[in-house]
């Protein structure tokens, strides 16, 4: 299967009471597509000044792989700068959040897998 960029579903929404909306390109659109191993595989874009609010993962973990832009990642209360090539992992029971602190869009791949 090939899902061409022009055919991908795109959603814009505020995530976890963050600031502004996050653009979500739905790559893996269902648990079935991820063979029951996870629930999300998306390309995400956060505009400058916008964020994904701090939240805790329960029953799953989330991995971010950063493609472009810069931001700050909340890793269980520790704020760390992130940029292209960086990878973050929020394990089951941990919390995280993300803010675009740069002046260009912050683009990354997000994958949520069940524990």
* Residue-level pLDDT, tens digit, the chain, 115 residues: 788 888 889 999 999 999 999 999 998 777 888 899 999 999 999 999 999 999 999 999 999 999 999 999 999 999 999 999 999 999 999 999 999 999 999 999 999 999 9
CB neighbour list of residue 7: distance below 8 Å, 6 or more residues apart: none
pTM over 0.85, yes/no: yes
Total domain count for the chain?
A: 1
Q: Distance (Å, rounded) from C-alpha 15 to C-alpha 8?
A: 20
Q: What is the CATH number of the domain that holds 34?
A: 2.60.120.10
Q: Is 108 a member of any domain?
A: no
User: How far are the Cα atoms of 6, 25, 57, 67, 99 from residue 83, in angstroms, in the given order?
Assistant: 26, 19, 22, 7, 12
Q: Is 109 a member of any domain?
A: no
Q: Is 2 a member of any domain?
A: no
Q: Is 16 a member of any domain?
A: yes
Half-sphere exposure of 34 toward its Cβ, with a 13 Å CA cutoff? 17
* Boundaries of domain holding 19: 9-85+96-102
């Amino acid at each position: 299967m090939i899902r061409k960029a022009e055919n991908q579903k795109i959603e814009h929404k505020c995530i976890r009471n963050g600031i502004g909306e996050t653009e979500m390109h739905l790559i893996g659109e269902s648990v079935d597509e991820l063979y029951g191993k996870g629930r999300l595989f998306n390309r995400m874009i956060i505009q400058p000044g916008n964020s994904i609010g701090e939240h805790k993962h329960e029953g799953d973990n989330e991995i971010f792989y950063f493609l472009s832009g810069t931001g700050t990642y909340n890793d269980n209360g520790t704020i760390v700068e992130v940029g292209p090539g960086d990878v973050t992992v929020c394990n089951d029971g941990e919390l995280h959040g993300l803010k675009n602190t740069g002046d260009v869009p912050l683009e990354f791949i997000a994958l949520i897998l069940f524990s």
